[in-house]
Structure 1
């Protein structure tokens, strides 16, 4: 586990700051609830340093989200706000915990021969396609999830969501990379840098690779390249993995376990 002090504090600070340009948060007790466009929703989160969150605060946050047409969603660092899991369950939400990792000793991995890596520009006509691959993990059906994702898979991105992504890429708030072989994307990934009190922190928000190309290290090499690109300006790079097996893949490129991310949402119908 990384020995640098204050890492969980900085992850908390990043999480609240990430929504500020698009969805300034409204307070629901101890929770910050970003209320912005439904095309790019953010979860409610405890304010940094919060240790205890009552169920009534979760209920209030969910009511705000649903009134604004947003999905009911709360996320937190489990080690920092341990009471929130019970509060979310008491409010009727389904709670899951995922591995939280931080770059500790980055490893450079090379792409297989014949695979090229590109940074995706905001005006790239294929951006909606790459966005779809990020959100579905190359899955032809919803049941097939991404390497690093969790939860139900969305349909193809709508125009409003793609417009938000284009603006984020244009302003540098989302960085998208794609690995291409024989003219076909075989892996795609992204990270999202945020300035937190004058220091840049970035979250790797997804790496997905084609099932037909797995076993060749393409996804791991793309993750390595994302980390290298993020660390050109970011002091801290972290991610939440979809499960323990995915976390072990990220360990290959220099991530180390830091804790757990709690996620609460409405149970599926």
Structure 2
């Protein structure tokens, strides 16, 4: 495994390149601010190699996101920009700490009995349903199991998809271009979980991030998330040299560590309080 500084360098370049196909990236002081489509927003991040990020740059980046109709968000590695937390809080943002994990050891694909995993094509007629499943699964999360949202503490999260599906054009384009690899878990003919990895060529080295692993509420607690993450890593490693993720919290990180991930750092996520 490369050294941790080398890995963080590689991941910083990954995040600098990832938004480029989706739209313009503005340079706002020490921050890069992607201002592409609201259907696939990217957070502002410190430009690789920059020094401290002042509060004025954070405020200007947030203003650019608001003007573009995008959610206000800034992300960074704690090891690279430790002082940014104070600037973000001073700008009125809430800062969350997410363990940063690398797929280090060969992973066994954990298949719960009766569950099968399938890759999703760009022309899949159920693509909007899979998007809605992910949206539903992450609604009002109170905790996680292997990266999965759980029921709201004030009651049971719904398990039926009743809202209109989200637009799918951007996701279809990303799948067709190979920039999103979407996978679903199916049990008894019903889609019960969804997740993806996002490959990017970083100067000749492919790197991919595992994102959005989510299971419908009534199917949780059976290892579905860990199994789906393992399957995504196995697929990503067919071409990617490094596969990583940011876990939702330390409990989730420990679950991923049991299936072959190793912690290499911390991702800070700053958003308006209540988001």
**Shift of residue 218 of structure 1?**
2.2
**Shift of residue 76 of structure 1?**
0.5
Tell me, yes or no, if the aligned pair for 2:210 and 2:244 is still in contact at 8 Å.
yes
User: In structure 2, what is the equivalent of residue 124 of structure 1?
Assistant: 124
RMSD: 2.3
Question: Which string of whole-angstrom CA distances, capped at 9 and with x for unpartnered residues, describes residues 135-182 of structure 1?
Answer: 332x6x6356765378x99x76522xx110111111110011111110
User: In structure 1, what is the equivalent of residue 271 of structure 2?
Assistant: 265
Cα distance, 1:183–1:145 mapped onto 2, change above 3 Å: farther
**Shift of residue 205 of structure 1?**
0.8
User: In structure 1, what is the equivalent of residue 172 of structure 2?
Assistant: 166
Question: Hey, which bits of structure 1, 4+ residues long, moved more than 4 A?
Answer: 1-5, 143-147
Structural mapping, 1:83-232, within 5 Å: 83-137=83-137, 142-143=140-141, 147=145, 148=147, 157-159=165-167, 162-232=168-238
Matched residues in 2 for 1:241 and 1:73: separation? 17
Matched residues in 2 for 1:149 and 1:57: separation? 34
Matched residues in 2 for 1:223 and 1:268: separation? 28
Matched residues in 1 for 2:3 and 2:205: separation? 19
Unmatched segments (≥5 aa) in structure 1: none
Tell me, yes or no, if the aligned pair for 1:88 and 1:264 is still in contact at 8 Å.
yes
Matched residues in 1 for 2:89 and 2:3: separation? 32
Matched residues in 2 for 1:156 and 1:53: separation? 40
Say how many residue pairs are matched.
263
Cα distance, 1:157–1:198 mapped onto 2, change above 3 Å: farther
User: In structure 1, what is the equivalent of residue 160 of structure 2?
Assistant: none
> Taking structure 1 as the reference length, what is the TM-score of the superposition?
0.90
